[in-house]
Amino acid sequence: MVAPAQVPRTRNLRSGRTIFALMLREMATTYGRSVMGYLWALIEPVAALALLSIVFALVLRSPSLGSNFPLFYASGYLMFQIYMIVGNKVASAVQFSRPLLEYPAVTPLDAILARFMLNMLTQMMVIYIVLTGIIVIYDLKLILDLSSILLALLMAGALTLGIGTMNCYLFVAFPAYVQVWAIANRPMFIISCIFFLFEDIPQQFRDFLWYNPLVHIVGMMRRGIYATYEANYISVTYVMGLSLLFFLIGLMLLRRHLRDALNI
């Protein structure tokens, strides 16, 4: 007979093994068994940043912060990429692992955490390589605030996990919502302060834009990269609270209604 204290430990161990197995499956199917799959994850943001830097360098003498175009746009674009790529991966976790959910050992939360952890680690690797490359190539002398950079990554991860978990149910229950979500997210690339600073926006629009959580995440990343940038508008509490709310709503929907939506 198993002692009561050992039951949660056994369940946690089993869940950990399931998540790890799902991560291995994700690596094999999404990125392939070769290096090229991961290489493409790096090439895509580098090409986008190069294009942005060239285009805006022809129009502007200098970016809104600092003097290096690639670094300024990387500080915003890479955070937005976490939101889009990791968020969409998490949102499609149930659809991706749907055949496995028929087994009692695999839960929707296992599928969500496996996709989130793998893709978040991948994006963190891409961010490290891209930022290090820019700093080395342009020989930039920066005083990095690692605590702010890590906090920005934590905020981005929490937001994508929260929204992704809620969308995980909505994508299954309402297939048309996938297109609605894609359309609704198109303006986010423009209104997330990737190309400009929050302080440069007129006050009447600034009050509205403050409610975009990506604005706070991008601001925190830039606070960590630029020693002179304070970004006093940032609210970690707002981003983390909103993320937790989305996550709890998503878990409730998955627990109560997912089986009906999947018809299993």
pLDDT tens digits, 104-127: 778 889 999 999 999 999 899 889
Tell me whether residue 170 is in a domain.
yes
How many domains does one find in the chain?
1
Place of tokens 């006050």: 203
Work out the mean pLDDT of the chain and round it to a whole number: 87
Q: Which domain holds residue 220?
A: 6-262
Q: What is the pLDDT of residue 9?
A: 59
**Rounded to whole angstroms, how far apart are CA atoms 43 and 170?**
31
Tell me whether residue 254 is in a domain.
yes
Q: Do 155 and 217 touch, CB atoms closer than 8 A?
A: yes
Least reliable range by pLDDT among 136-140, 154-158, 208-212: 136-140
Tell me whether residue 168 is in a domain.
yes
**Rounded to whole angstroms, how far apart are CA atoms 11 and 235?**
36
Which residue would you say has higher pLDDT here, 105 or 9?
Answer: 105
Instruction: Tell me the pLDDT band of 7, cut-offs 50, 70 and 90.
Output: very low
pTM of the model: 0.89
Question: Which whole-number Å values give the CA distances from 181 to 168, 178, 186, 252, in the listed order?
Answer: 12, 5, 9, 20
Least reliable range by pLDDT among 32-46, 182-196, 217-231, 248-262: 32-46
Instruction: Tell me the pLDDT band of 64, cut-offs 50, 70 and 90.
Output: confident
Tell me whether residue 1 is in a domain.
no
Which tokens sit at 10? 């056994």
